[in-house]
C-alpha cells in the first residue's frame, strides 16, 4: 500500500500578499512570497505544490506560476478553469499536472465539481491539447457515477473527488451518505485504473473521515494548512498533516 501523498495548495499565501500589494505587484515589500513557502512545504515533505490560476487573478498571478515552474523540485499541479486564455497559459507553462475545475467568478472557493457530462465536448479538446504537451490531466468532480464514467470516456488520468460536502456535513446522516458516495466513486474510478485524488475542506480533524475512502493516492489541501501555519509555521503545519495522513490504510 502506497502512502497517501500531500499536495499543498498555496493560493492563500498569495491571497494574503494581494490583500496589501495587488496594486503594487513590483514592490520589493510584496510579501509573503508563495514560491518561498512552496520550498518550505517541499522540505517538510509535501509531494506536490498546487496553485489555482483564476480568470480574475484574485490570488495567484501568472508570474508566480512561472517562478514555481522554475523552482519546484516535486511536482506542480495547476488548478484551472477550461477557458481559452488559461488553457493557452497552461500550454506555455507546462505544469506536471492540470486539474480542471469549474470557473465561477462569484464563488469564494471552488464550490462544486466540474460537470463532465454537460461539458464533454469542450473538455475533450482541452484534454487532448494538454496531453500532447505531456501534461497529466485531473478532473475535479463530485462523487457521482456518471461523472466518473465521463472522466474515463474523456481519457482523464486522474479524478479529484470533491470532499467539500463531507468536510462540511453538519449531521451524522449527511456525513454517512456523503462518505458512501465518495467510497463508491473512488472504487469505480480505481476499477477503471484512474488515479484517485481528493480535495476541498480537508482539515486536521476531518482527515479521519478521509481515511475511510479507499484507493486514494493524493490529497490537495490548502486553507487548513495555511491557517495552521499562521500559528505554527509552514514546516510544522505540513509535517503535522503528513503524520495524520500516514495512518491511511487505503
Query: Residue 77, interface with ligand PXP (CB under 6 A)?
Result: no
Query: Residue 221, interface with ligand PXP (CB under 6 A)?
Result: yes
Query: Residue 147, interface with ligand PXP (CB under 6 A)?
Result: no
Say which of 12, 162, 200, 215 is annotated catalytic: 200
**3-state helix vs strand vs coil in the chain, percent to 5:** 45, 15, 40
Q: Would you call 223 a catalytic residue per the annotation?
A: no
Query: Residue 222, interface with ligand PXP (CB under 6 A)?
Result: yes
Q: Would you call 200 a catalytic residue per the annotation?
A: yes
- Pick one of 86, 90, 101, 182: the residue that binds ligand PXP (CB under 6 A): 101
Alpha carbons 96 and 124: distance in angstroms, whole number: 19
User: Going residue by residue from 48 to 67, which x/- string records binding to ligand PXP, judged by CB under 6 A?
Assistant: ----x---------------
- Considering beta carbons, is residue 1 or 110 the nearer one to ligand PXP? 110
- From the CB of 107, what's the least distance to ligand PXP, in Å? 10
Which residue, among 191, 199, 244, has the nearest Cα to 50 in the 3D structure? Answer: 199
Query: Residue 199, interface with ligand PXP (CB under 6 A)?
Result: yes
Which residue, among 233, 218, 236, has the nearest Cα to 7 in the 3D structure? Answer: 218
Q: Are 74 and 81 in contact (CB under 8 A)?
A: no
Query: Residue 143, interface with ligand PXP (CB under 6 A)?
Result: no
- From the CB of 171, what's the least distance to ligand PXP, in Å? 20
Q: Would you call 12 a catalytic residue per the annotation?
A: no
- From the CB of 23, what's the least distance to ligand PXP, in Å? 24
User: Phi, psi (5° rounding) for residue 176?
Assistant: -65, -40
Say which of 79, 97, 103, 218 is annotated catalytic: 79
Residues 94-128 as b or e (16 or more Cβ within 10 Å = b): ebbbbbbbbbeeeeeebebbbbbeebeeebeebbe
Q: Is the peptide bond before 161 cis (omega within 30 degrees of 0)?
A: no
Cell numbers describing residue 152: 474515463
Stretch that binds ligand PXP, among 41-49, 58-66, 218-226, 233-241 (CB under 6 A): 218-226
Query: Coil, helix or strand for 234?
Result: helix
Binding site for ligand PXP (CB under 6 A): 9, 11, 52, 79, 99, 101, 109-110, 140, 160, 199-202, 220-224
Amino acid at each position: 500500500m502506497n502512502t497517501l501523498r500531500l499536495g499543498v495548495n498555496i493560493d492563500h499565501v498569495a491571497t494574503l500578499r494581494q490583500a496589501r500589494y495587488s496594486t503594487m505587484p513590483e514592490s520589493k515589500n510584496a510579501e509573503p512570497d508563495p514560491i518561498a513557502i512552496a520550498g518550505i512545504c517541499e522540505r517538510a515533505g509535501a509531494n506536490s505544490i498546487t496553485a489555482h490560476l483564476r480568470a480574475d487573478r484574485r490570488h495567484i498571478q501568472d508570474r508566480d506560476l512561472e517562478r514555481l515552474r522554475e523552482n519546484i523540485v516535486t511536482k506542480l499541479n495547476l488548478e484551472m478553469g477550461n477557458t481559452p486564455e488559461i488553457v493557452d497559459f497552461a500550454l506555455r507553462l507546462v505544469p506536471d499536472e492540470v486539474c480542471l475545475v469549474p470557473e465561477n467568478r462569484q464563488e469564494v472557493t471552488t464550490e462544486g465539481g466540474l460537470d463532465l457530462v454537460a461539458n464533454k465536448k469542450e473538455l475533450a479538446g482541452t484534454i487532448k491539447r494538454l496531453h500532447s504537451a505531456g501534461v497529466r490531466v485531473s478532473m475535479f468532480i463530485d462523487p457521482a457515477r456518471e461523472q466518473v464514467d465521463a472522466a474515463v470516456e474523456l481519457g482523464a488520468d486522474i479524478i479529484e473527488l470533491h470532499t467539500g460536502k463531507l468536510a462540511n456535513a453538519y449531521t451524522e446522516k449527511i456525513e454517512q451518505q456523503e462518505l458512501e458516495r465518495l467510497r463508491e466513486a473512488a472504487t469505480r474510478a480505481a476499477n477503471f485504473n484512474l488515479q484517485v485524488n481528493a480535495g476541498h475542506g480537508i482539515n486536521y480533524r476531518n482527515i479521519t473521515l478521509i481515511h475511510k475512502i479507499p484507493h486514494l493516492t493524493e490529497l490537495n489541501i490548502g486553507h487548513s494548512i495555511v491557517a495552521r501555519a499562521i500559528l505554527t509555521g509552514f514546516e510544522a503545519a505540513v509535517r503535522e498533516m503528513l503524520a495524520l495522513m500516514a495512518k491511511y490504510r487505503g
